[in-house]
Structure 1
Amino acid sequence: MKNFLKNSVLVKSNKKQQNEKFFNILTYTLVAIVIFGGISLLWDLFEEKKNSANGFSNKKVSLDISRISEYVLEDDAELARGRNGNCSFWDCFNVYRCGQREQDRITIYVYPLTEYVDQASKQAFTLTQEYHEILKAIVESPYYTPNPNEACLFVPSIDTLNQNLLDTKLVGKALASLNYWENGENHILFNMLPGSYPDFNRVMDVNTDKALIMGGGFDSWSYRVGFDISIPVWSPRLGGHNRKVNQSEKKFLLIAAQLNMFPQHVRLLRDLAEEIGPDVLLLATCPQQQVEEMAVEPQRINTSVRCSLPKGKRHEYPRVLEKGKFCLIARSVRLGQPDFLEILAHNCIPVIMADNYILPFKDVIDWELALIRIREADLHSIVEKLQSFSAEKILELQEQGKWLYEKYFKDLPTITRTTLDILNDRVFPHLAKTSLQWNTPDNYKASHNPLFLPLIAPKAQGFTAVILTYDRVESLFTLIQKLAIVPSLQKILVVWNNQKKSPPHPSMFPKILKPFKVIQTKANKLSNRFFPYDDIETEAILTIDDDIVMLTSDELDFGYEVWREFPDRIVGFPSRIHVWDNITLRWRYESEWTNQISMVLTGAAFHHKYWSYMYTNAMPGDIKDWVDEHMNCEDIAMNFLVANITNKPPIKVTPRKKFKCPECTNTEMLSADLNHMMERSACIDRFSKIYGSMPLQSVEFRADPVLYKDNFPEKLKRFNDIGSL
């Protein structure tokens, strides 16, 4: 019993010690939590006070101009370094600052509104209304962040829109004083009117170091491709303009209303106006007396009076632009002109006469769809050039220009958002909009060009086989029988190119279950294979020579399936390459097997029927006539045509390369002629000169069925009969 009580007391004593130990640990833990919590709270308060002192907060930056804070620049403040003219996206932009959030888009921080004052001169500069609108658009955009630590890009509250209003030294001090300047890396500066008298540089005369310039006066020398962005010069006359213009109001072919043109251009235009008469309207500043007599109404303060030369008739500007089909923008001391947006807004087609001017948003907008560019040396022939445009083409240019203005240029917030969208596409190219998306109206439905076809053509259509033949009846009949069993074939057209001999009687042709027709041509021309015959009802055409009897049904069916995925390309079997000869300094046609191709011969190839129409009706120069005269190179001409418009290479399918006529002797084949290869090399050289460049694109690519060489049972493969080398 004593031992039991003794043990019981020991147990109670141990439990008491354990409880005391537990409570001590708990007390220490709570004290540590309180201490660390207090330290954390004090640190947060310190950081908040520090950020507040620097003008940062977690709220959107205030854009109330009446509450701008003042920042005094010290005399010995560091100046920003001179603009780095060699900057590119890869060396002056830190892309690793971007994409820190979960969503893939840029984040932009706007510095708080500040009035910068020079301590020595007491000079200061504040915001213009235009720059305030730009900053407001950024803050209200989805790209804005109030936290500079997570920002990808920074926009200073320093107004650099107009070079004439800047003290360059003061601006350099202000930029260098920014908390996150870091030599301008990832900073955006907006400038619409660069340069000052007497130099008028194409980019603003401010030390901007590595900053991105959103500029309105770039030429091809000052523009850093892929880094800067060309923006338009805003016109205050455009506020609220939204008037539909009727074609009946456009009574002038050309209006030249720009006031700051060079004198030699004004003299030449004045001579044209006197010679041509009412088709050309040249406007200049009116004498002061005429302006006072006209007395523009107070409510129309965004208009001015301009007088025609040489008659002096008064016109209200910019409303007069609505009466012109084309409106001229000529080179001046500054390349960027507010006239550009005024012309677009009033549905007049801009005619740009500044050879090296970088058009607004050039990187994404295809301006060839909305305006005309002429060389400065060709001003004397401008009327003849403009008269050559059809009414349909003029309407097309006007509609595209109107859509572009409403989509990207109608006000400063829209221009700002477009600029930010372009930057976002650069930083996240995998999410970028295509050129088609940038340049196609949202309600666009019509499609007459294969460049705007659906991604994959409808499978039910199938293809039409067009066989060009002269007198090889046996191989022709064999080819017809082979084509007839191809599942995707819809129709066969035999183009009989022999005028001295009639085609066989219909009863002699093979009996097939597919529609079939023979067309006898009036002249023996290779271009007959590309004529857009009314009998061709499918989008896909297989052009094939009568001696190509070695292709299997699987190869042809697979070739058509590949074309369905690339309907704007030439897709076919025999391939060739063009090479540059450094000895002769000419292009050479090469038929040797190489790892590259740039042409697919149309002796066995699929193409969209649109290309047949283009070949017949819109082939550049005298290429088509030359082909028919020399009986050679029609396939090269077609490859040039498609590559020039699409800027894409053809696609070769299946590994087969041997294409020989089994029943032909060497003397019967065009390719057996010794001069054949020399002529084809001459074709490539001649066609490249006509196009003014080499449009053919080389590619190391061939399309084969997925399971072509895999060790699978044949019943699992769709295309088993694919020929080898």
Structure 2
Amino acid sequence: MCASVKYNIRGPALIPRMKTKHRIYYITLFSIVLLGLIATGMFQFWPHSIESSNDWNVEKRSVRDVPVVRLPADSPIPERGDLSCRMHTCFDVYRCGFNPKNKIKVYIYALKKYVDDFGVPVSNTISREYNELLTAISDSDYYTDDISRACLFVPSIDVLNQNTLRIKETAQALAQLSRWDRGTNHLLFNMLPGGPPDYNTALDVPRDRALLAGGGFSTWTYRQGYDVSIPVYSPLSAEVDLPEKGPGPRRYFLLSSQVGLHPEYREDVEALQVKHGESVLVLDKCTNLSEGVLSVRKRCHKHQVFDYPQVLQEATFCVVLRGARLGQAVLSDVLQAGCVPVVIADSYILPFSEVLDWKRASVVVPEEKMSDVYSILQSIPQRQIEEMQRQARWFWEAYFQSIKAIALATLQIINDRIYPYAAISYEEWNDPPAVKWGSVSNPLFLPLIPPQSQGFTAIVLTYDRVESLFRVITEVSKVPSLSKLLVVWNNQNKNPPEDSLWPKIRVPLKVVRTAENKLSNRFFPYDEIETEAVLAIDDDIIMLTSDELQFGYEVWREFPDRLVGYPGRLHLWDHEMNKWKYESEWTNEVSMVLTGAAFYHKYFNYLYTYKMPGDIKNWVDAHMNCEDIAMNFLVANVTGKAVIKVTPRKKFKCPECTAIDGLSLDQTHMVERSECINKFASVFGTMPLKVVEHRADPVLYKDDFPEKLKSFPNIGSL
């Protein structure tokens, strides 16, 4: 049988073939769309882990509409906390890597609701405090929304208060975290550990290798250098505005304000009150308050009612005893009041004790010495007590005041462990702003890695030589490493030139007017000095080239604890006169460089202004002479090292300056220079200046080499 084919009589045989092509096209397109829908559906319902690049954002901070995760009863449970963990055994530092800012990156898991097989939540709704903690981290420089860049992981599972937790199910929820890996590099925050009847001093939730920031550690549960001891936050910090009270004696010498104390402890503190009378005040919970009065805001002694925590400001020392838990919120209240805490809790690890020096702000007394606590406190000098009161308030302001402060201090401690070469110093952790020296670091303790160059700040001391001052500013501004120029105007009888008359330079220029005409004004630690390197230069040093100055700065960077300068001088022993002599002639040796043109670390400004021995500073100001020699003595005495003279230049006289312009041209001025050396040697009790026979020049100086290829071609002449 032959097959027949019908043809369209209206057209050629190509028309059926075209219809077939269109049909194939639409079938193919439909198939692609259908496969895409199927793949999308499978992705949505197939078990997998979705890690958003922005898991912890403003929208997901609400507990509404968060994903629900069901935990089967047989879900894996992490092992209990490994007490042998240390940073070098349980923490993976390779996840942190190197970054220019030396800051760890912290990732916060997405907020989820964990329920058991019966739909019962594993824990209560996330607390306000934990929400504040996560918000503080997410708003900080530590936070990253990229899980692949994270060094530290913080679960959104709230374990601050163990009373609200189902221990087993919470541990199962932790094990479900996508990067859990036995808790490696995971950080848990807990302030109220343990539960009745034992009240363990660390979180009972099995957590394997996870770090714990805990509020009640004892020496038995604290993993030194791994866990972080944090305060138990006091909600009264946010509710009560307690203005700072000045240090000094107060109405009560010793006060106890805790309620619910163990009967033995209460008997001990009441015995102190009986023995020492009205100087000791023991408070307890109020039982006869009017309706509507918050009992947490009141304390009572017999029938007398006191406002709490305001009453703490009436005491010099405040007792902090252990309760059911070692960590107590009263410690925060006591610090806020500027009352020196007397901690009587054996084995308690004080908050942030890894970095905070609690000897400066508290008194720790063994429980067995509780009956002697009054006499122990009486032996402390009043001046030390006042310093401790200030320090106590400072600790609260910096590290206890808010959940944010607690969170960021915790992360900083961990950050310092991972990047120890960029760690915050003891002074930065412990010194209040009143005594803190800002960004000043002691050059005697050098960093483990070279810091990036900040450049230097040039300080020009001037009185009335405006023309030469402008020339100095113009020349110094050509130095590539100049960061800022500070003019110290030492003339109280004449105003500085108008702004429009000053040279236009590429760096900030600031004029500081002094209250008195003192040479020591050049060494004052001005807030405007932001760099570590300082160039002290007189307003008549117009001969130094930009190459000479840049080379001097490069030498200083290699020796930041030295005086690096240009005019060299020498001290000699005069055998006939039996005393020291100042020598300004050219010799083969040098023991001083004059600060009319010298680089030094700004740390020495603080030492000169606040720590100069004896009456040297006042003597210099009274005689209008020798401030440069005094600085040489100071640096040499602190470091035990010699100065470094740079470049061959020896002539520094200003040819345009008249004889009446300069102090150094006065003959009596030169005689006093020798007197200065003997005066300073007497005050220091020794001769700290070191004599050397060398100077620093560029490597290719004087070499027969093309000038264009030299780094410092214009070193200048003698």
TM-score between the two structures when normalised by the length of structure 1 = 0.56
How many Å separate the matches in 2 of 1:534 and 1:435?
25
Residue among 356, 359, 363 paired with 2:347: 356
How many Å separate the matches in 2 of 1:704 and 1:368?
47
Kindly state the Cα deviation for residue 331 of structure 1 after the two structures are TM-superposed.
2.5
Structure 2 match to 1:342: 333
- Report the 3-state secondary structure (helix = DSSP H, G, I; strand = E; otherwise coil) of the residue aligned with 1:223: coil
Structure 2 match to 1:423: 414
Deviations 1:266-287 (A, max 9, x none): 212111111211111111123x
How many Å separate the matches in 1 of 2:41 and 2:99?
25
Letter matched to residue 252 of structure 2: F
Kindly state the Cα deviation for residue 445 of structure 1 after the two structures are TM-superposed.
6.2
Quick one: structure 1 residues 704 and 63, their matched pair in 2 at CA, closer, same or farther if it must change by over 3 Å? Answer: farther
Quick one: structure 1 residues 490 and 129, their matched pair in 2 at CA, closer, same or farther if it must change by over 3 Å? Answer: farther
Are the equivalent residues in 2 in contact too, given 1:110–1:157 (CA < 8 A)? yes
Matched, 1:56 2:127: no
Quick one: structure 1 residues 314 and 490, their matched pair in 2 at CA, closer, same or farther if it must change by over 3 Å? Answer: farther
How many Å separate the matches in 1 of 2:681 and 2:330?
42
How many Å separate the matches in 2 of 1:352 and 1:266?
15
Are the equivalent residues in 2 in contact too, given 1:160–1:166 (CA < 8 A)? yes
Are the equivalent residues in 2 in contact too, given 1:562–1:571 (CA < 8 A)? no
Quick one: structure 1 residues 357 and 534, their matched pair in 2 at CA, closer, same or farther if it must change by over 3 Å? Answer: closer
How many Å separate the matches in 1 of 2:121 and 2:54?
30
Letter matched to residue 284 of structure 2: A
Structure 1 residue runs of 5 or longer lacking an equivalent are: 1-37, 461-485, 493-506, 516-531, 540-559, 573-606, 613-650, 655-702, 714-725
Letter matched to residue 581 of structure 2: L
Kindly state the Cα deviation for residue 186 of structure 1 after the two structures are TM-superposed.
0.6
Kindly state the Cα deviation for residue 325 of structure 1 after the two structures are TM-superposed.
1.3
Deviations 1:334-367 (A, max 9, x none): 1100001111112211111123211111111122
How many Å separate the matches in 1 of 2:89 and 2:205?
21
Are the equivalent residues in 1 in contact too, given 2:87–2:226 (CA < 8 A)? yes
Matched, 1:122 2:120: yes
Kindly state the Cα deviation for residue 168 of structure 1 after the two structures are TM-superposed.
1.0
Kindly state the Cα deviation for residue 45 of structure 1 after the two structures are TM-superposed.
8.3
Structure 2 match to 1:105: 103
How many Å separate the matches in 2 of 1:562 and 1:511?
16
Structure 2 residue runs of 5 or longer lacking an equivalent are: 1-32, 447-531, 537-567, 584-610, 619-630, 643-679, 703-718
Kindly state the Cα deviation for residue 511 of structure 1 after the two structures are TM-superposed.
5.8
Kindly state the Cα deviation for residue 234 of structure 1 after the two structures are TM-superposed.
0.8
Matched, 1:513 2:584: no
Are the equivalent residues in 1 in contact too, given 2:572–2:582 (CA < 8 A)? yes
* Aligned length in residues: 477
How many Å separate the matches in 2 of 1:236 and 1:324?
21
Structure 1 match to 2:361: 370
Structure 2 match to 1:280: 280
Matched, 1:271 2:271: yes
Q: 5 Å matches for 1:616-655? A: none
Matched, 1:157 2:179: no
How many Å separate the matches in 2 of 1:451 and 1:284?
49
Are the equivalent residues in 1 in contact too, given 2:255–2:315 (CA < 8 A)? yes
Structure 1 match to 2:236: 237
Structure 1 match to 2:635: 564
Are the equivalent residues in 2 in contact too, given 1:249–1:322 (CA < 8 A)? no
Q: 5 Å matches for 1:467-478? A: none
The CA RMSD measured in Å over matched residues stands at 4.9
Quick one: structure 1 residues 565 and 190, their matched pair in 2 at CA, closer, same or farther if it must change by over 3 Å? Answer: farther
Kindly state the Cα deviation for residue 144 of structure 1 after the two structures are TM-superposed.
1.4
Structure 1 match to 2:189: 190
Q: 5 Å matches for 1:554-633? A: 564=635, 567=638
Q: 5 Å matches for 1:416-565? A: 416-444=407-435, 510=578, 512-513=580-581, 537=616, 564=635
Quick one: structure 1 residues 390 and 171, their matched pair in 2 at CA, closer, same or farther if it must change by over 3 Å? Answer: same
Kindly state the Cα deviation for residue 610 of structure 1 after the two structures are TM-superposed.
11
Kindly state the Cα deviation for residue 411 of structure 1 after the two structures are TM-superposed.
0.8
Structure 2 match to 1:332: 323
Are the equivalent residues in 1 in contact too, given 2:340–2:388 (CA < 8 A)? yes
Are the equivalent residues in 2 in contact too, given 1:296–1:304 (CA < 8 A)? no
- Report the 3-state secondary structure (helix = DSSP H, G, I; strand = E; otherwise coil) of the residue aligned with 1:394: helix
Letter matched to residue 411 of structure 1: S
Structure 1 match to 2:225: 226
Are the equivalent residues in 2 in contact too, given 1:563–1:571 (CA < 8 A)? no
Deviations 1:586-614 (A, max 9, x none): xxxxxxxxxxxxxxxxxxxxx999999xx
Structure 1 match to 2:254: 254
Quick one: structure 1 residues 190 and 71, their matched pair in 2 at CA, closer, same or farther if it must change by over 3 Å? Answer: same
Letter matched to residue 371 of structure 2: H
Kindly state the Cα deviation for residue 54 of structure 1 after the two structures are TM-superposed.
3.2
Quick one: structure 1 residues 445 and 160, their matched pair in 2 at CA, closer, same or farther if it must change by over 3 Å? Answer: closer
- Report the 3-state secondary structure (helix = DSSP H, G, I; strand = E; otherwise coil) of the residue aligned with 2:348: coil
Matched, 1:380 2:371: yes
Q: 5 Å matches for 1:303-314? A: 303-308=296-301, 311-314=302-305
Letter matched to residue 89 of structure 1: M
Are the equivalent residues in 1 in contact too, given 2:289–2:295 (CA < 8 A)? no
Are the equivalent residues in 2 in contact too, given 1:408–1:415 (CA < 8 A)? yes
Letter matched to residue 204 of structure 2: D
How many Å separate the matches in 1 of 2:45 and 2:374?
66
How many Å separate the matches in 2 of 1:131 and 1:282?
34
- Report the 3-state secondary structure (helix = DSSP H, G, I; strand = E; otherwise coil) of the residue aligned with 1:78: coil
Letter matched to residue 276 of structure 1: H
Structure 2 match to 1:663: none
Are the equivalent residues in 2 in contact too, given 1:83–1:210 (CA < 8 A)? yes
Deviations 1:251-271 (A, max 9, x none): 111111122433222212111
Structure 2 match to 1:82: 80
Letter matched to residue 363 of structure 1: E
How many Å separate the matches in 1 of 2:392 and 2:46?
47
Quick one: structure 1 residues 706 and 513, their matched pair in 2 at CA, closer, same or farther if it must change by over 3 Å? Answer: closer
Quick one: structure 1 residues 206 and 246, their matched pair in 2 at CA, closer, same or farther if it must change by over 3 Å? Answer: closer
Are the equivalent residues in 2 in contact too, given 1:251–1:323 (CA < 8 A)? yes
Are the equivalent residues in 2 in contact too, given 1:305–1:314 (CA < 8 A)? yes
TM-score between the two structures when normalised by the length of structure 2 = 0.57
Letter matched to residue 564 of structure 1: V
How many Å separate the matches in 2 of 1:172 and 1:185?
14
Kindly state the Cα deviation for residue 104 of structure 1 after the two structures are TM-superposed.
3.0
How many Å separate the matches in 1 of 2:212 and 2:154?
11
Query: Which stretch of structure 1 is more off in the superposition, 185-194 or 431-440?
Result: 431-440
Are the equivalent residues in 1 in contact too, given 2:570–2:582 (CA < 8 A)? no
Letter matched to residue 192 of structure 1: M
Deviations 1:663-694 (A, max 9, x none): xxxxxxxxxxxxxxxxxxxxxxxxxxxxxxxx
How many Å separate the matches in 2 of 1:46 and 1:706?
78
Kindly state the Cα deviation for residue 396 of structure 1 after the two structures are TM-superposed.
1.5
Kindly state the Cα deviation for residue 72 of structure 1 after the two structures are TM-superposed.
0.7
- Report the 3-state secondary structure (helix = DSSP H, G, I; strand = E; otherwise coil) of the residue aligned with 1:189: strand
- Report the 3-state secondary structure (helix = DSSP H, G, I; strand = E; otherwise coil) of the residue aligned with 1:401: helix
Letter matched to residue 91 of structure 1: T
Are the equivalent residues in 1 in contact too, given 2:285–2:295 (CA < 8 A)? no
Return the structure number with greater helix share.
1
How many Å separate the matches in 2 of 1:331 and 1:381?
18
Quick one: structure 1 residues 338 and 533, their matched pair in 2 at CA, closer, same or farther if it must change by over 3 Å? Answer: closer
Quick one: structure 1 residues 122 and 261, their matched pair in 2 at CA, closer, same or farther if it must change by over 3 Å? Answer: same
Are the equivalent residues in 2 in contact too, given 1:99–1:105 (CA < 8 A)? no
Deviations 1:58-92 (A, max 9, x none): 22522112233211101211111111000000010
Letter matched to residue 263 of structure 1: P
How many Å separate the matches in 1 of 2:42 and 2:251?
67
Matched, 1:410 2:401: yes
How many Å separate the matches in 2 of 1:142 and 1:445?
23
Are the equivalent residues in 1 in contact too, given 2:322–2:328 (CA < 8 A)? no
